[in-house]
Amino acid sequence: MHMELSTPSDRSIQMQRVTERGAADAKDLLVAEEPLGVLLSWPGRGEPYELVVTMRTPGDDEALATGYLLSEGILRDRVSVVDLKTLPGAEGEATQIVVCLSAPPESLDRQRRTGYASSSCGLCGKASVSAVIAADRPEMAMVDGVWSSSLIRSLPQRMRDEQEVFERTGGLHAAALFDATGELRLLAEDVGRHNAVDKAIGEVQLRAEAIAPEDILVVSGRAGFEIVQKAVMAGIAGMAAVGAPSSLAVELAERSGMTLIGFLRERRFNVYTGARRLRLDGLESP
């Protein structure tokens, strides 16, 4: 994998584009995904309070930090903010925004975000990827040619056919686990992309079943770092997203040995990592 900085908000990467006519090497632009730490400081505090580490596309960081504090109810108004200081992170560490307040915020512990953002505090950038790699997680077996290209292209419609709630509301994300033959093992729906993936992974555990090396997870949205992280930790060797992957998601998939597919459609898809697990069937040679 070769990734280049194009602008602060995107990355250029080499990948493989597969269509009905064959496969070819190509370049793609991925949205950049990097961590931002938000810290709070107020008179008498001493060391800044580490509030949250969140994944974002670089740019407008001061606006992001201020909006987060207001939307989460940590601040009542912008007047409470005396200053904002940006602290560029060293290599592999997060950029930090220190929000200097005129007084301590109210109910800080109650307002602190739960889930991925708070659980990832202290992990950032390449450090986040390294932490996932080093974690106690299932090994991913590399099985060459396990999924045909035609099978992969058929999965979005197979998933849609099983989305009962989406069919009624049109407002839910889905995560579906398929085996190597394209048979649906399970499907989960939720208004949140992350929740849908968590539900799918949790259902496998509740059934006391194992995730096979040939299984592939299909998600209805984009493949951000945290979505790929969940799949890696569950030992899922392949993920296909209807939307785009982020730069950090591709890096994690590459280092984990995962096959990561994006922009999955009926007639085409892009392969960002782990192309060995795919085989072209009924197509021209690359």
- C-alpha span between 33 and 244 (Å, rounded): 12
Tokens standing for 92? Answer: 């592999």
- pLDDT above 70 for 70: yes
* DSSP notation for 116-128: HHHHTTT--HHHH
Amino acid, single-letter form, for residue 150: S
Residue 55: which pLDDT band, with cuts at 50, 70 and 90?
confident
pLDDT per position as a tens digit, 74-133 = 887 777 889 999 988 776 677 899 999 999 887 665 444 433 343 333 445 556 667 666
- 184: confidence class by pLDDT, cuts 50, 70, 90: very high
Judged by DSSP in three states, 90 sits in: coil
Query: What's the rounded mean pLDDT across residues 163-180?
Result: 75
In this structure, whether the domain defined by 138-279 belongs to CATH 3.20.20.70 is answered with no
pLDDT in tens, 11-33: 888 999 999 888 999 999 887 88
Could you count the other beta carbons within 10 Å of the beta carbon of residue 221? 18
Tokens linked to 203: 């259902």
So what CATH class is 34-132? alpha beta
Q: Are strands 81-87 and 95-101 parallel, antiparallel or unpaired?
A: antiparallel
- Indicate if the pLDDT at residue 179 is higher than 90: yes
> In the chain, what are the domain boundaries?
34-132, 138-279
**Torsion angles phi and psi, residue 84, rounded to 5:** -130, 125
Phi, psi for 231 (deg, rounded to 5): -65, -40
- Please classify residue 172 by burial: count the beta carbons closer than 10 Å to its beta carbon, then call 0-12 exposed, 13-18 middle and 19+ buried: buried
**pLDDT digits over 186-208, tens only?**
998 877 788 889 889 988 888 88
Query: pLDDT tens digits for 219-268?
Result: 999 999 989 988 998 899 999 999 999 998 999 999 999 999 999 999 99
Compute the chain's Rg from CA coordinates: 21
Start-to-end C-alpha separation, the chain: 18
Decide if 121 is catalytic: yes
Cα–chain-centroid distance for residue 246?
A: 7
Supply the pLDDT for residue 278: 95
Q: 41 or 59: whose pLDDT is higher? A: 41
Please indicate whether residue 140 or residue 285 has the higher confidence score (pLDDT). Answer: 140
What mean pLDDT, rounded, does the chain reach?
83
* Distance, CA of 216 to CA of 180 (rounded, Å): 8
Annotated catalytic residue, options 3, 84, 98, 121: 121
Asked whether the beta carbons of 219 and 174 are under 8 A apart, the reply is yes
| Class of residue 248 by CB neighbours under 10 A (exposed 0-12, middle 13-18, buried 19+) | buried
For residues 207-222, give the mean pLDDT.
92
Encoding tokens for residue 85?
């200081």
What tokens were used for 23?
Answer: 């496969």
Does the pTM of the predicted model rise above 0.75?
no
